[in-house]
């Protein structure tokens, strides 16, 4: 391989960046510039591109913190080096990472905070960066715990959720799941308002995305950002999930209910529909797997409920984690590593 060069991303490389992400083996739409740049006013983008012999080898979504740390982009849950589907192995990525550390040293950057892509999101195994982190002295300084269902081999809901699901099935009205379309206009306000009320009343919190931001992102990525809702007996939205869909994972970005929705057990009904029908693999054991009532761009392998942590992973919200586990989900770690950039590599 020719000498590797690390350069900082600029807007003139937008099309090149997006094309590389589109054809990578370990990328999701969150790495597209239309997603990363929506909050450019909050993060000083410092994404990197690795070149060799005029060929783009890998890209790293990143920003620069106020204290001079190169971070896997602070506006994204995960990150890491994005790799091509072929012609790059662990030896190459180790050299890329070493060159990036030298680049950071020359730029006066004091450290690298790195969030690798959780393994469930990669089309092909892509953990060459984990080995490189070991070689470079990277230390884990944060681990969040997510909960995911393997749609090829889903585990059953626990006894409580099965009982609640039976109750939802015996309601005097027939709940129905509504889904946002893959194209065209869709108003996210009914979902967002329910979400904002739920977070405020139950957790004293606000959605990460404002109504305007979620609407803008859904309009930019209608095939990837899907909203599913169930209405109560008088037609008011009572349970909902916003799913970020990628090739390998249907990720629950937001989950919300109303008090009425909880009393009617509409959330177990919605998750049963999503896991055992809509996203069920046709060759898996889930019931009614052929009853898919909405089109989709991908056929994900995993259904990810997201993390259940606070304070950079040091606190596990046990109640929330157990609720996610009750739908048949098991653990996936979302780690973060830190590499000090203070002295030449030995």
Cα torsion through 67, 69, 72, 73, rounded to 10: 30
Query: Residue 285's pLDDT is what?
Result: 43
205: helix, strand or coil: coil
CB-count burial class (<10 Å; 0-12, 13-18, 19+) for 2? exposed
pLDDT digits (tens, 9 = 90+) for 188-199: 999 999 999 999
Residue 318, pLDDT > 80, answer yes
Provide, rounded to the nearest whole percent, the portion of the chain with pLDDT above 90: 90
pLDDT at 291: 45
Summarize pLDDT for 86-135 with one digit per residue, the tens. Answer: 999 999 999 999 999 999 999 999 999 999 999 999 999 999 999 999 99
The C-alpha atoms of residue 283 and residue 279 are separated, in whole angstroms, by 12
Would you state the pLDDT for residue 287? 41
Q: What is the pLDDT of residue 289?
A: 37
pLDDT per position as a tens digit, 301-310: 999 999 999 9
Residue 312 reports pLDDT greater than 90: no
Q: What is the mean pLDDT of the chain?
A: 94
pLDDT in tens, 4-27: 999 999 999 999 999 999 999 999
| CA–CA separation, 244 and 265 (whole Å) | 23
Over the stretch 282-301, which tens digit does the pLDDT of each residue have? 654 444 433 445 778 899 99
Give the model's confidence band at 344: pLDDT under 50 very low, under 70 low, under 90 confident, else very high. low
Pairing state between β 111-114 and 139-150: unpaired
pTM of the model as a whole? 0.93
The per-residue pLDDT for range 122-140, each reduced to its tens digit, is 999 999 999 999 999 999 9
SS3 per-residue string spanning 206-225 = CCCCCHHHHHHHHHHCCCCE
Query: How confident is the model over 247-282, as pLDDT tens digits?
Result: 999 999 999 999 999 999 999 999 999 999 999 986
Could you tell me what percent of the chain has a pLDDT over 70? 95
Mean pLDDT of 214-221: 98
Mean of the pLDDT values across residues 145-164? Answer: 97
**How far is residue 225's CA from residue 220's CA, in Å, rounded to a whole number?**
9
Instruction: Give me the pLDDT at residue 203, please.
Output: 86
């Amino acid at each position: 391989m020719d000498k590797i060069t690390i350069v900082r991303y600029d807007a003139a490389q937008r099309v090149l960046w997006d094309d590389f992400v589109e054809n990578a083996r370990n990328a999701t739409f969150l790495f597209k510039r239309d997603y990363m740049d929506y909050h450019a006013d909050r993060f000083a983008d410092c994404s990197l591109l690795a070149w060799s012999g005029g060929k783009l080898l890998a890209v790293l979504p990143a920003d620069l913190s106020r204290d001079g740390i190169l971070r896997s982009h602070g506006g994204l849950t995960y990150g890491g080096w994005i790799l091509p589907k072929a012609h790059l192995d662990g030896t190459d990525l180790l050299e890329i990472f070493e060159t990036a550390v030298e680049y950071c040293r020359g730029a006066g950057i004091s450290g690298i905070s790195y969030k690798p892509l959780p393994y469930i999101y990669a089309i092909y195994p892509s953990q060459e960066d984990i080995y490189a982190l070991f070689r470079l002295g990277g230390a884990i300084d944060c681990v969040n715990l997510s909960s995911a269902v393997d749609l090829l081999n889903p585990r059953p809901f626990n006894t409580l959720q099965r009982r609640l699901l039976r109750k939802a099935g015996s309601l005097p009205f027939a709940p129905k799941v509504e889904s946002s379309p893959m194209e065209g206009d869709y108003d996210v306000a009914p979902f967002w308002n329910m979400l904002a009320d739920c977070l405020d009343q139950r957790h004293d919190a606000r959605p990460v995305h404002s109504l305007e931001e979620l609407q803008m992102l859904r309009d930019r990525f209608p095939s990837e950002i899907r909203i599913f809702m169930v209405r109560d007996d008088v037609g008011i939205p009572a349970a909902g999930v916003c799913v970020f869909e990628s090739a390998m994972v249907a990720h629950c970005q937001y989950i919300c209910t109303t008090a009425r929705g909880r009393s009617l057990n509409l959330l177990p009904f919605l998750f049963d529909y999503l896991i055992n029908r809509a996203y069920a693999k046709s060759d898996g054991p889930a019931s009614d797997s052929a009853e898919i009532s909405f089109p989709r761009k991908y056929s994900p392998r995993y259904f990810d409920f997201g993390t259940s942590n606070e304070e950079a992973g040091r606190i596990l919200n046990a109640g929330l984690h157990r609720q996610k586990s009750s739908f048949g989900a098991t653990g996936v770690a979302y780690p973060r590593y830190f590499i000090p950039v203070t002295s030449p590599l030995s």
